[in-house]
């Protein structure tokens, strides 16, 4: 039996109904970031720079793909998340990323520090939602979604201090 708060992953329409408000902000902005990263890559291709290449990769991987993965992971792996919490997470994730990008491009590492700290806090909030679900997922597929979601959060949590340290070493 499938609980009403967890989508039926055997039905592809579960991505379009019920819980869509939980991942759409992440998915929409994440998709726009992937497109932006592609545009940055195209614009800087004739005369590549370290900052141009880094910006394109960061926009695609962290702002885009990771954000979409976090939203989808939260929607498929946790209990229903209140709309206000989703808004705080999505806004915080994007503000943190904007601060990291601005701080990196201007060599103002204090801004990178603030952005990294905000991203870290948002990831902790996302991880708390994962642990707050209690119990085990009802089926194998949902369990693997939870593992993947948790692994994504862990990878991002580890990469933030590494990125902040690298930003300080480059200045």
Q: Global pTM?
A: 0.84
Instruction: Quick: pLDDT tens for 136-165.
Output: 555 677 778 889 999 999 999 999 999 999
Domain-embedded: residue 128: yes
In a domain, 6, yes or no: no
CA-angle at 132, arms to 21 and 94, nearest 5°: 45
Determine contact, residues 77/149, Cβ cutoff 8 Å: yes
Whether 87 is covered by a domain: the verdict is: yes
Establish if 7 belongs to a structural domain. Answer: no
* φ and ψ at residue 86, rounded to 5 degrees: -60, -45
- The verdict on residue 145 lying in a domain is yes
Hunting for tokens 């601060």 — which residue is that?
Answer: 99
Q: How many domains does the chain have?
A: 1
CB 146 within 8 A of CB 95: no
Tell me whether residue 32 is in a domain. yes
Indicate the length of the chain as a whole number: 171
Give per-residue pLDDT as tens, 105-121.
999 999 999 999 999 99
Integer Cα distance of 65 and 29 in angstroms: 10
Q: Which domain holds residue 73?
A: 12-170
- Answer whether residue 4 is part of any domain: no
Q: Is residue 136 part of a domain?
A: yes
């Amino acid at each position: 039996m499938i609980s009403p708060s967890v989508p039926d992953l055997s039905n592809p329409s579960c991505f379009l109904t019920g819980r869509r408000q939980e991942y759409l902000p992440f998915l929409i902005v994440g998709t726009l970031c992937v497109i932006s990263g592609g545009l940055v890559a195209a614009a800087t291709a004739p005369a590549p720079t370290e900052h141009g290449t880094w910006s394109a990769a960061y926009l695609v991987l962290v702002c885009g793909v990771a954000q979409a993965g976090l939203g989808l992971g939260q929607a498929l792996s946790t209990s229903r998340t209140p709309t206000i919490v989703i808004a705080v997470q999505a806004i915080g994730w994007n503000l943190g990323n904007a601060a990291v990008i601005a701080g990196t491009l201007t060599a103002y590492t204090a801004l990178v520090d603030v952005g990294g700290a905000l991203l870290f806090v948002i990831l902790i909030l996302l991880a708390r939602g994962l642990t707050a679900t209690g119990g085990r997922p009802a089926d194998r597929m949902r369990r693997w979604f939870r593992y993947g979601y948790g692994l994504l959060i862990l990878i991002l949590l580890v990469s933030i201090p590494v990125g902040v340290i690298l930003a300080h070493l480059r200045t």
